[in-house]
Structures are given as C-alpha cells and as structure tokens.
Amino acid sequence: MYRNFFLFEKQSAALNAEIKGATIARAFTFRKNECTLHLENPEIYLHLSVHINFPFLLTGTAAKIRKPKYTVFEQLSGQTIREIKILPFDKHVQLSTDDFIMEIIFYGRQPNIFIFDKEMQLLDSFKDKAREEALPKKKQIDFRRAPLDKLTKAAAAEPGQTLDFFLRRHFYAFNKTLVNETIFRLGVSAESRLADLPTEKIDNLKEIFTEISRQISEEKQYLYFENNSCLTLSLFPLLHRQDQDGVSVESYTDLNRVWWKFISLKRDADALQRVKEKCKAGIRKRSSYIERSLQKLAQTEDLHARKEEAELKGNLLLTFKTQITSGSSEAVLEDIFSGSGKQIRIKLNPAKSVVKNAEQYFNKYKNINEKKEVIQIKKNTLLAELEHISALKQKLDSRKTAQILKVQEELEAMKILQGKSENADTSKSLQYAFKRRILDNEWDVYIGKNGPNNDLLTFEFAGKRDLWLHAQGVPGSHVVIRLPRKNIHPPQKVIEQAAQIAAANSKAQFSATVPVIFTEVRYVSRMRKALPGTVSVRNEKVLFVKPLNF
C-alpha cells in the first residue's frame, strides 16, 4: 500500500491543514530523487521523494537532513503555500504558492517535480527529464462511492471474468493488496467467475467496500511484519495477513510518523539485500575459481603417467637427435618403443641443444614425491577455503543484520570483496592477512609476506604456544603452525613440511638443503631499533630440509 493513491490522498489532506500558509525559505536536495522544502511558520521540512520504489511526501525536522545540501527551485524562496492537493486518482500532487504551481508526479516511468507559473508555463524541473503527457484515463469507479446497482450492472456485463480481473479493471487504485483483502473478506477465491457468484456475494461486495472505505478514513494505520521483516504499510487492517505464520502487526495514529518508519525500515532492508547480493556474487566468483583450480590439480594428480610420458619424450629425443634441426621449437617423432607407430609431438626450447631438452624431460618429474606433496597441500588448502565460504553463504540466509554484516566484513578481509569496514573484527580478519597452507588435511600454517607482515603474524596473530619457524641465517618469511588447543602438538611430518615451506620462502630457496629453526612463539622476541621482522629466538631446534617450492 505504500505506493497506493489512497495513502497519498490521505497524507495530502493532512499536509494541507498542517503547512497551508507556511513560507518556503529554501528548496534543496541532499539525497538522489528527493527534494526538500524548508518551511517557516511553522519551522518544518517537507520531504518529496520521486524515487520509483520509495515515493513519499512527508514532514520532518532538520535532524533527518544530511549535508551537503544543494539548492534547487530558487524561485520558490519567500513564497507562501496556498494549497496542497492530489489530483483525482493520480499520484500527482499540486502544491500552489503565491506565484507558482509545483507538480509532484509520483507515478510513471520517470517520476519528477515541475515548477509552473500561473499560466501553466513550465519554468523548471527537478530531474532533467521532459514532462510526459498524461495518458487518457480509463473509465473506472471509485469503490468508496460505488452504488450497488452500478456494481451489479458491471458484474452482469462480464459474467465470464474472474473476480480478481473484475476488481482490477473497474475500480480506481485497486492494487494487489486491496484485491486480496476484498476477496478474503468476501470468502471466495480470486479465480471465481462472476457468473458463478451468488447474488448475495455481489451485495456483500458493497458492504466490504463500505467497511474498507471507513477504515481508510480513520486515524489509524498499520505496519505488517513477517519474521521481523517489514512487509507493507496499510491504511486498513489486512485480515488476510493477520493469521499467517510469522506475521505480526503494529498500529499507529500518526500517518507521517508511520510512513517515516516504513521508509526507514525498507531502506535498511534494501541496503541489507544489496549487501547480501554483493556477498553472494563474490562467493560465486571465488567458488568458481577454486573449483577450476581443483579441476586443474585433478588433471595433474596422475604423476606416474606424466612421468612415463616425459621419459618417453626424452628417450625419443636422444634416439632421433641427429635428425632434429638445431634451434627447432618442436619435433614430431615416431614412438618406436611401443611399436604402435604413433606420432609424438614434442615441444623444444630452441635455445637449448636436443640433449639438454631431453635432460629437461627426464628431470621434469624427477622429484615425483615432492610434487605429490605440493599438489596435496594445494588441494587441501583450496578445499578448506571452499568449505569455509560455503558456510559463509549459508549464513547469508539469516535474517539477522549483524550476522550478514559480519559475513561482509570477513569477505572483505579475505579480499573476495573490495572495501574494509571500520568495524571489522581485527582478530578474525587478521588470519587473511597472510599466505595460508593446510598440512595433513588439518594443520593451518601461516606464512608472512614481508617484514611488517612477519611482525603482524608473530606478535599479533599467533598464539604463544603456536610453533614458529624460520630459515636459519638468511632473510625470509616467518612461518607459524597454529595449534587447535594448548596441549595438542603437530606430528613430526607436519613440522618438517612447514620447515620446507619456510625454506622455500627464504633467500635460500634454491639451495639443496636449508637449516630451519623452530620454537614456540613465546620464545620469539622483537629486537629494539631493528628492521621490521627482525627477531631474537630462544630454545630453538634445527631441521635440515629441502625447500618445498609451490
């Protein structure tokens, strides 16, 4: 009902009594699609919204005004309001002053506000759109004043029509809410044909119209909620809604107040819905990326077959090395080893000799076990993230605003969404400030990115009992194994893999063997006046490992 003619009609009548004779001090805008008149005597603000989804004309105070304000309709300054009225069965309000007529059009594809002189010459418009010519009016009936014989005649003329269609076609401003309420009170279905309705039902229709008309004219309005979400604003009780599960209602006697509350609730709901859609879009995009990455990893998991293929290519290159032209980028050779006669296409590095290219193929899968470890760690890490963002997606179905905003903050911290909320939970968002790996399908390992990030990882994020690792004697990343509980320690295999990761994220990443120290975080201390990430360590142990490069 919040865009219905009867709401605007009732408010226009109330405003005419309230602001008639007031002087317009200034007309300005501070929000898109909303024009505000600052009135004097009485001191009040008249808000005119021509937003296609949130049209309204409401009075308020300066407390609702945000800066900056931009002046519009300068010709209205100093003008006295003579009358405000709504045109019959149009959401088209006229505000007359001493010398001008303001037309506020709340309907159509391009709602707008226009200023005319007394000869109805267009002087100015709020939005830069041409004024649309009014469409010819359909011959309809005001249900509040419809005599019974007119109803009977209209119904008899179209016996094959449904009651739903009949009500919408013949009565001014009869929206979906009015149709549903009338049909409910009548005790029939929307699909009932007029020809099938007993005569007494047509008689009852007049009684229902009279009752709804009386309720519209009363100083009482209603806000309906479903599971605490605002559904609609109504000028009369919605009996068809009141007995539904999860539906509640609040009644008011101040139309201006309840309309403000409704607009505020709907704006908040719309803003929250935009947040939800933004979060869902970010999750869809990230999920799609993770799934593609997992598919690529699946294609590389059969390393033994890939190793055999690479060794075959190396052997073919050595066998036919005298027949391959130096500097070639590709060679097509017959598979003489299987006897199939199949032609094998082999890519070559033109800058290298045939023998060096063959060596490269032999060495490609030399460390097959290490490659398997890398693939498994990548896979575990991606699966953990996919599971986490799937859980976040489920939380978006909540009706709790705080929970939805927390999901947004977390997605921003994960860099899935742009932006950073000032209210973000620092302890929660810090985990996304570092590189992360999942070892043995359950151990979270975090890797610093640079000096300041290392400090953040070790001294702000890590727990005192977490394990801390670093390549010995060379610059590199701080690496932390998070412990799920105080007395739970990772197995030796996990510590060794974390040490390999620390070696790979250091200046010694290309060394054959790297010494890596590890200790509990509580034994790591900042060094005064040293560069960020520089620390002193106590009670450390040393592992000699080969860097595990990703």
DSSP code per residue over 8-57: HHHHHHHHHHHHTT-EEEEEEEEETTEEEEEEETTTEEEEEEE-SSSEEE
Residue range 139-158, pLDDT digits in tens: 678 888 877 787 788 778 88
pLDDT above 70 (res 257): yes
Of the listed ranges 189-198, 376-385, 510-519, the one predicted with least confidence? 189-198
Q: What is the pLDDT of residue 298?
A: 87
Q: What is the pLDDT of residue 63?
A: 64
Of the listed ranges 36-40, 148-152, 425-429, the one predicted with least confidence? 425-429
Asked whether the bond before 42 is cis by omega within 30 degrees of 0, the reply is: yes
Q: What is the pLDDT of residue 303?
A: 76
What pTM value is reported for the model?
A: 0.70
Q: What is the pLDDT of residue 446?
A: 97
pLDDT above 60 (res 135): no
Place of tokens 């009780």: 237
Smallest Cα–Cα separation from 167: which of 198, 140, 187, 204? 140
pLDDT above 70 (res 453): yes
Q: What is residue 286's DSSP assignment?
A: H
Do 408 and 397 meet the contact criterion of CB atoms below 8 Å apart? no
* Average pLDDT score over residue span 27-48: 92
Do 164 and 183 meet the contact criterion of CB atoms below 8 Å apart? yes
Amino acid at 3: R
Strand boundaries in 184-315, DSSP class E: 221-226, 229-234, 247-252
- State what percent of residues in the chain have pLDDT above 90: 63
Looking at per-residue pLDDT, the higher value among 399 and 63 belongs to: 399
Residue 241 CB burial class (10 angstroms; 0-12, 13-18, ≥19)? buried
On the question of a common fold for 5-125 and 143-256, the answer reads no
pLDDT above 60 (res 136): no
* Alpha carbon 451 to its chain's center: 34
Q: What is the pLDDT of residue 171?
A: 87
Q: What is the pLDDT of residue 338?
A: 83
Which phi and psi (to 5°) does residue 107 adopt? -120, 180
* Average pLDDT score over residue span 193-216: 90
Do 429 and 410 meet the contact criterion of CB atoms below 8 Å apart? yes
Q: Are strands 229-234 and 221-226 parallel, antiparallel or unpaired?
A: antiparallel
Residue range 384-425, pLDDT digits in tens: 999 999 999 999 987 788 899 999 999 998 989 987 644 444
Q: What is residue 521's DSSP assignment?
A: G
Q: What is the pLDDT of residue 528?
A: 86
**Alpha helices (H) in 420-528, listed in sequence order:** 426-429, 451-456, 492-504
* Average pLDDT score over residue span 20-27: 94
CATH of 143-256, one of 3.30.465.10, 3.40.50.300, 1.20.58.480, 1.10.8.50: 1.10.8.50
474: tokens are 């060379």
Position 530 confidence tier, pLDDT thresholds 50, 70, 90 = confident
Name the CATH topology of 5-125: ibrinogen binding protein from staphylococcus aureus fold (2.30.310)
Whole-angstrom Cα distance, residue 459 to residue 478?
Answer: 11
HSE-CB at 268 with a 13 A cutoff on CA atoms is 16
Q: What is the pLDDT of residue 420?
A: 61
What one-character-per-residue DSSP string does 386-446 give? Answer: HHHHHHHHHHTT---HHHHHHHHHHHHHTTSSS---TT--HHHHGGGGSEEEEETTTEEEE
Q: What is the pLDDT of residue 423?
A: 45
- Mean pLDDT over all residues of the chain? 89
Q: What is the pLDDT of residue 141?
A: 82
pLDDT above 70 (res 516): yes
Amino acid at 530: A
Q: What is the pLDDT of residue 95?
A: 96
* Average pLDDT score over residue span 199-227: 91
Whole-angstrom Cα distance, residue 216 to residue 211?
Answer: 9
Q: What is the pLDDT of residue 428?
A: 62
515: tokens are 């010494």
Q: What is the pLDDT of residue 94?
A: 94
For the chain, the domains span 5-125, 143-256, 303-366, 434-550
* Alpha carbon 321 to its chain's center: 60
